């Protein structure tokens, strides 16, 4: 999508005398992807990945957190700790790319970003579930 971008200078704001050398505006023609389009693309990819992977991770359980709970049980950790390890895998891949874009990735980077969103959603759901469980436990404690 070709769009004309106009960059306004701060010339009229008297913020700095060095800006007097800049024109009032600069017109730049360039091709660019709109932020909202990028976000829509990423969220669509995240949804597609989530839908394709969910049956394998949940073993068709209605509990979307079943995989983390089972991994935690097997490793002797909490489900949140298990989740954090899975989440970290995607963050680490993104960070590796940020440090050195030439390092070959095992998965497409757009998929890593999409999966990071999915893991954040799962982690948030786990957090909420733990909060609700804690609230329920606090309400059911006997006063004596």
d(CA 87, CA 26): 43
Cα distances from 20 to residues 5, 12, 27, 37, 107, in angstroms, run: 21, 9, 18, 36, 49
115-125: pLDDT as tens digits? 999 999 999 99
pLDDT of 143 reads 67
28-65: pLDDT as tens digits? 444 456 888 999 999 999 999 999 999 988 887 899 99
d(CA 25, CA 10): 9
d(CA 61, CA 67): 9
Is the whole-model pTM more than 0.75?
A: no
d(CA 50, CA 57): 10
């Amino acid at each position: 999508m070709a769009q004309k971008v106009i960059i306004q200078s701060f010339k009229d704001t008297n913020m700095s005398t060095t800006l007097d050398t800049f024109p009032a505006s600069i017109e730049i023609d360039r091709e660019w992807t709109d932020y909202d389009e990028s976000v829509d693309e990423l969220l669509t990819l995240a949804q597609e990945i989530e839908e394709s992977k969910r049956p394998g991770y949940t073993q068709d359980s209605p509990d979307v957190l079943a995989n983390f709970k089972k991994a935690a049980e097997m490793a002797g950790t909490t489900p949140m700790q298990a989740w954090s390890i899975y989440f970290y895998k995607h963050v680490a891949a993104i960070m590796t790319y940020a440090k050195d874009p030439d390092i070959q990735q095992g998965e497409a980077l757009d998929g890593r970003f999409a999966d990071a969103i999915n893991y954040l959603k799962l982690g948030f759901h786990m957090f909420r579930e733990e909060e609700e469980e804690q609230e329920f436990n606090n309400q059911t404690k006997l006063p004596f």
